[in-house]
Structure 1
Amino acid sequence: MGKKILHILFALLLASTTGCAVYPAVQVAGGAMTGYDAAMLADEYIPRSHVEGGGLTANQDKMLQRRLRERLQLNGMTVSAHVIDAKAYLVGQISDRARADYAIKTASTVQGIKTITCKFYPLTTRREARKDQRLHAELAEQFKKTLRLRGADLRVEVIQSQAILLGKAQNYSQKTAAVAIASELGDITQVIDYIAVKVPIADGDEVASK
């Protein structure tokens, strides 16, 4: 564990001196803004019992999510933050690449976060923002009244008419239903699926699978 932490610290130090990010740009999220999918921290930062299964995972996620949101807010970042199975998801609109890098660096300071996945978009117009709010309300209402989705922990973000689905479904049928509902909603142009699925294991606990 000690060697891994030293390697991470060395990478961060190298990045600060060279000006290069330690995470790769892997997906375009509209316009000139680039999205990131970055593995920042080692699994050993938190006990395995807090990573997998039952109430421990839920309580750990709530604590990490609260810390992450507080830290982003203190640093002037307005992106949405979610934590699922100790994995952080940052979603929102950011003005430039430097601010995107800063959001990721801020999130990486929260001890216990295993990975950081980001979906960032360029700033939108007020008209587009109002449309996104309407689509968000419609999609959230559809999820709420769909019986097949009861018991699932689903979260929705809508940016520039794209629906970003996060959370945890009880099975793959729920996951498929959520994606289908979002895809069929008028004016939604794309669905980005970050929904994990609970998979039962031998001792009765559950782990999440993408």
Structure 2
Amino acid sequence: MDRELFLSPALEVAPRLLGATLSVTGDDGLGSAGTVAIRITEVEAYHGVGTPGPYDPGSHSKDRRTERNASMFGPPGHAYVYFSYGMHFALNMVCSPEGTASGVLIRAGEVVEGGEIAQRRRSAKRGGATVPQHMLARGPGNVAAALGIARETHDGLDLFEAPFAVARDGAVSGRITSGPRVGVAGEAGGPAFPWRFWLADEPSVSAFRPGRGAPKPPRRERSPR
């Protein structure tokens, strides 16, 4: 995988990230450096100012650039990290040429390296309780926690340089499914925006939760060609 992929809008990039490996090296919680890697199993696309296509009312950058969303306008293949609900961080991969707002939210993944480190990080936030393996990086806040990502240390960093690494080993295994985005309010969280993509039958994929006032999705999700 190379940086050129991220020159495309997030909606094109998102399904192509499924099955890719994302790794982050950082403090292992025991005073040493350690690496945690996930195989990406669930993503969501978000478009903003300057991105071709329909206006995306669910995007942080739908109207203008701000101090909070500035990294979403940055160079493609960089990280946009934000603090969500005053509780956890979320990692996005910036897409489209610099100056255009477009990003892919990493919603879930299977931990494939550094499981003990991920477990320590996640357990620390749960009062020491053990987290099931398939839930270590299930949901965007848990992805960031398992990988040790925070806004103040990772926002705006290059995904192709340390402490990050992104790679793909062969073709995607599994059926790609799409549907409405999780927890997004109003029309942006309904079937008009089936911009969430995931690998079917993967236990690490998060459960769907409609946003406030979002239209109900159809009974059957659809698989992109």
TM normalised by structure 2 equals 0.27
Query: Greater RCO between the two (CA within 8 Å, min separation 6)?
Result: 2
